[in-house]
């Protein structure tokens, strides 16, 4: 998958609700169709982020687990 990432948000070491709060703030500053890469270690984000996308109309393009319990999400702004 070849996706242009416009911004990266590092949320490693943060616990709920901080990753989602930082994500919401970062997305407000982005333009429609831009893609945000979010990196984090809170396993709760794996269930919180898809629900947040459903509520806000943004699109979760990809979700993966990297080495060391780090999660990576690609979110496209509506």
Just list the catalytic residues.
16
Q: In 3D, which of 75, 77, 71 has the Cα closest to residue 10?
A: 71
Distance CA 12, CA 9 (A): 9
Round to whole Å and give the CA distance between 16 and 44: 7
- Would you say 28 and 77 are in contact if contact means Cβ atoms under 8 Å apart? no
């Amino acid at each position: 998958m070849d996706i242009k990432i416009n911004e990266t948000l590092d949320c490693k070491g943060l616990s709920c609700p901080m990753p989602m709060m930082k994500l919401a703030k970062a997305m407000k500053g982005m333009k429609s169709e831009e893609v945000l890469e979010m990196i984090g270690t809170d396993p709760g984000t794996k269930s919180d982020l898809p629900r947040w996308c459903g509520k806000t109309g943004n699109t979760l393009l990809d979700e993966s687990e990297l080495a060391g319990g780090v999660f990576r999400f690609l979110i496209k702004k509506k």
